[in-house]
Amino acid sequence: MNKSLAAIIFLVMPGVNAMAQGEGSHRSESGVVITPELQSGYQYDDNLYNRSADEQGSSVFVFAPSGNFLLEDGVNRYALDVGISSGHYLGQSDDDYLDGDIVFSGHFEPDSLQRLNLQVGANWRSEARGTGITEARHDLIDSPLRYFEQQAGLSYEYGALSSKAQLAFELGYLDKSYNNYQDITKYYDYSALLTGAKVFFTTHHRSQLFVELNRNTIRYEHLDNSGKSRDSDDYNLLTGFRWQATAVTAGRVILGYQLKDFTDQQRDNFNGLSWDVSLDWQPLTYTKVSIETQRKAKEPNVEGDYILASLYGLSWSHHWNDVLTTSVSGSYGEEDYQGVSRTDETRTLALSLDYRMSRWADVSLFGQMSDKDSSRRDIQFDKHLVGLNFVFSL
């Protein structure tokens, strides 16, 4: 999946993202809960390089083992997540990839008033030809781009969970560097430092109102041939409301004011409204409808000063019985580039049929259609993806 630079800034959320012991887990004598998983599957992509003409299709076999290691010591929790993902393209072995991830998480509560969350991790990732830096110019390279990310995050919360308000401070760091095709990629190596503070107000059981102020400092290592620096400071003032699942609904509504300030006065700054809204509606225990919409200024892959990106999505999942589930989702995204004359519109439709063969094995049949229009003809493309995926656990 093609991710913008701003979207992968490391954020620390309350708690540890770790699995509790259950189906598919094993508890060792030392008390560590081990949860292994293996995903393997086949998919066919009819437009491998996202081209507007002369499309080229390919089949790919995916193999992705992973594991979660969890140790609980009272209210304190420690988790380690590791995984690799490999893809082999039939007839296109130059596009094969091998990715890896390792993340450590810790949650500590010295007393009833204080909570500390820590996460550190590293990712070894591939950027497929025709995406990201090589959008509409996959022929510049002969294999996927490779990059390495180092991430760290820390959050500190003060205030009893039973009190009317809690205060939180957040600190996050991300460093991204490409490993190959340095003549092209070196201009996109960067680091980002996120600092922020947030106040939570408990308004009702399992719901919170909050106000947040954060700053994301983005710095690139090299100046590209345009002579204009891409360095910027991204400020966000947010207010929002979150509520956890009730009998019918769960969701969040976050509204904010964003200021993206470039250090180079030749680039256009952004200031304006941003939002992040998500709503889950579950009128019955076996069916759920989800709605989401987002808007913010984000980093471009290659050209322009920034992208004013808007997204609207709708999904529906339904459990027909204990073993069969269907899902359908659709989205519309608009990206308005500033600093260059370009506007993109992307429509996607995804379908999946999930079948639980046994307690330890699941199989999914899925398909996805993408249609991208753009004011630049070489950016436009249609893509269809179908596949079969298996998930195995203990």
Amino acid identity at 147 = Y
55 secondary structure, DSSP code: -
For the segment 130-146, the average pLDDT, to the nearest whole number, is 94
Contact at 8 Å (CB) between 392 and 361?
yes
Residues 32-72: tens digit of each pLDDT: 999 999 999 999 999 999 999 999 999 999 999 999 999 99
Quote the CA–CA distance of 371 and 92 in Å, as a whole number: 24
User: What band does 140 get if pLDDT is binned at 50, 70 and 90?
Assistant: very high
Place of tokens 């073993």: 323
Residue 4: pLDDT above 50?
Answer: no
Amino acid, res. 270: F
Tokens for 330, please give them.
């659709």
Tokens of 132: 């990201």
Flag the least confident range among 14-28, 152-166, 308-322.
Answer: 14-28
Q: Alpha carbon of 161 to those of 75, 108, 153, 260: distances in Å?
A: 13, 14, 22, 34
State the virtual CA torsion across 198, 203, 206, 209 in degrees, nearest 10: -30
Quote the CA–CA distance of 305 and 134 in Å, as a whole number: 18
Q: What is the mean pLDDT of the chain?
A: 92
For position 313, what pLDDT does the model report?
Answer: 98
Q: Give the pLDDT of residue 1.
A: 35
Residue 107: is its pLDDT beyond 50? Answer: yes
Q: What are the pLDDT digits (tens) for 249-276?
A: 999 999 999 999 999 999 999 999 999 9
pLDDT of 91 reads 84
Measured over the CA atoms of residue 128, residue 277, residue 313 and residue 285, the dihedral's sign is positive
User: To 5 degrees, how large is the angle CA 137–CA 60–CA 130?
Assistant: 10
pLDDT band at 22 (very low <50, low <70, confident <90, very high): low
Residue in 209, 218, 376, 222 with CA at minimum distance from that of residue 299: 218
Looking at the predicted structure, is the pLDDT value of residue 235 above 60? Answer: yes
Give percent above pLDDT 70 in the chain: 94
The top-scoring range by mean pLDDT among 7-11, 19-23, 129-133, 244-248 is: 129-133
Amino acid at 233: D
Is pLDDT above 90 for 358? yes
**Is the per-residue pLDDT at 2 higher than 50?**
no
Residue with tokens 């010295």: 110
Enter the DSSP assignment of 321.
S
Distance CA 330, CA 368 (A): 10
Distance of CA 323 to the CA centre of its chain: 28
